[in-house]
């Protein structure tokens, strides 16, 4: 080590650790961050020491720390990677420098080289295109499931097939079972809760095939609407189910005259 003054050593050390660069891998293969790191030592080394040796140790430590911080960060979100890297480098790290323990902290500025920025732009274009394709496919599937979520719609679709035999339609139970499965298809999370509730009510009522059972359930629904001070809706439900059949309207026993 060449003999230099304390002031010269300190100035040389500051120059070597106050602003140095690092090339850091991102989570996307082939795309790297360019980091400019500013380090601070507390306390600074005293006595005779080699500024190059200490600077090498500081730079190596901080490059390793910053590389670990951003290796799982997506370069598409550069601000998030910047925050994560800065957070890691702000944490003091102890280094044994020139027979003295010092703590090193740092600030950092992350950026992307021109070729990496171009790669991120191409990546974003591909991601957006794939997102549009996925959204359209999901919408088509949901629309088809909603269209065929009723046995009559399934039967109508079956009749459209060129090899359909009108005299041999599918079994009603099979149609109902398939329609119920389609009604259970995962819906868009943005679908209004009212629509989701209607689907649940439809499946619930389908569990009670007898007309008197359905009438009883709808009467209970009307009573709930009146309890919620919405008599107009209750009247509409009662109009929908109609008056209860009278005893005289029931079919006479078999063989009766």
For the segment 106-117, what is each residue's pLDDT rounded down to a tens digit? Answer: 999 999 999 999
Closest to 187 in 3D by CA, of 139, 151, 152, 153:
139
- For residue 149, the model assigns a pLDDT of 80
* Burial status of residue 176 (CB atoms within 10 A of its CB: 0-12, 13-18, 19 or more): middle
Residue 113 vs residue 136, higher pLDDT: 113
Give 220-228's long-range contacts (Cβ < 8 A, gap of 24+). Answer: none
- For residue 168, the model assigns a pLDDT of 80
- For residue 81, the model assigns a pLDDT of 96
Which pLDDT band holds residue 213 (cuts at 50, 70, 90)? Answer: confident
8 A C-beta contact, residue 104 and residue 62 = yes
Q: Is the pLDDT of residue 257 over 50?
A: no
Residue 241 vs residue 222, higher pLDDT: 222
The region, left, alpha or beta by phi > 0 then psi within -120 to 50, assigned to residue 183 is alpha
Q: How far apart are CA 73 and CA 71, in angstroms?
A: 6
- For residue 255, the model assigns a pLDDT of 47
Residue matched to tokens 């005299």: 167
Q: Is the pLDDT of residue 256 over 50?
A: no
Q: What is the average pLDDT across 178-185?
A: 78
């Amino acid at each position: 080590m060449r003999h230099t003054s304390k002031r010269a050593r300190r100035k040389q050390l500051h120059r070597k650790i106050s602003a140095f660069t690092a090339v850091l891998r991102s989570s996307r293969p082939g795309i790297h961050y360019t980091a400019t790191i500013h380090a601070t030592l507390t306390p600074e080394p005293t006595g005779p020491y080699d500024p190059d040796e200490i600077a090498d140790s500081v730079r190596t430590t901080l490059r390793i720390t910053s590389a670990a911080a951003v290796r799982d960060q997506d370069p598409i979100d550069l601000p998030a990677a910047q925050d994560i890297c800065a957070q890691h480098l702000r944490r003091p790290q102890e280094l044994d420098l020139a027979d003295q323990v010092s703590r090193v902290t740092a600030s950092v500025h992350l950026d992307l080289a021109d070729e990496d920025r171009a790669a991120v732009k191409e990546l974003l274009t591909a991601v957006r295109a794939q997102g549009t394709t996925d959204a359209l496919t999901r919408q088509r599937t949901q629309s088809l499931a909603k269209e065929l979520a009723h046995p009559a719609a399934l039967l109508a679709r079956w009749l459209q097939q060129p090899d359909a035999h009108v005299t041999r339609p599918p079994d009603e139970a099979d149609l109902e079972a398939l329609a119920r499965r389609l009604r259970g298809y995962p819906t868009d999370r943005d679908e209004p809760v009212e629509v989701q509730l209607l689907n649940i009510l439809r499946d619930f009522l389908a569990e009670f095939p007898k007309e008197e059972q359905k009438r009883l359930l709808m009467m209970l629904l009307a009573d709930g609407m009146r309890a919620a001070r919405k008599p107009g809706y209750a009247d509409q439900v009662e109009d929908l189910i109609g008056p209860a059949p009278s005893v005289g309207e029931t079919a006479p026993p078999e063989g009766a005259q």
